[in-house]
Amino acid sequence: MKRSRFLTYILSRAVSGVRVVSAEIVGTDQTEHWIREVVPGRTTYWIRVDPDHYTYWKCFKEAHPNWKQIAYKYRTIPDLHCFCPEFTTAQDLMNWLFDVLELTHSERNLLRLWGGVTDDTTFNIFTFSCRT
């Protein structure tokens, strides 16, 4: 399994019945203008899921009702209109995902290794995609 498919695989497993073709960690620099207005001058990180981002996150929240409590633990950015929680660091985003999905130690290490998320100084925005 390539690194490009692992995040997609994890997210598709997290919500049954919702198709996941690709998933990517997105930083503010790759998003629409309105995101920048939420936290001016700061980068925010979130996960975009295709083909239907909004449906995926609606179903994710239903399947994992503890998502919000865990998000506060990792300093989520409060946003009334956000589908996927946003975080000020990529590490917090990944730790949130690890905890919500209760990933095994091995799965966590694979995502860290393949995604390059070891700490905030070494994080580069990366893209995972899976073509079907």
Q: How many domains does the chain have?
A: 1
CA distance 90 to 26: 9
DSSP bridge pairs for 77: 86
Round to the nearest angstrom and report the end-to-end CA distance of the chain: 14
**So what's the pLDDT on residue 132?**
35
Contacting residues for 89 by C-beta, under 8 A, at least 6 apart: 45, 120, 123
- Domain around 70: 3-129
CA distance 86 to 47: 8
Residue 44's nearest CA partner among 99, 86, 102, 93 is 86
Each residue's pLDDT, cut to its tens digit, for the chain (132 residues) gives 233 578 888 999 999 999 999 988 887 654 454 444 555 566 788 888 999 999 999 999 999 999 999 998 998 876 656 788 888 888 899 999 999 999 999 888 888 776 545 444 334 444 333 333
Q: Annotate 22-43 with b (16+ C-beta within 10 A) or e (fewer).
A: bbbbbbbeebeeebeebeeeeb
Q: What is the pTM of this model?
A: 0.76
C-alpha neighbours within 13 Å on the C-beta side of residue 39: 18
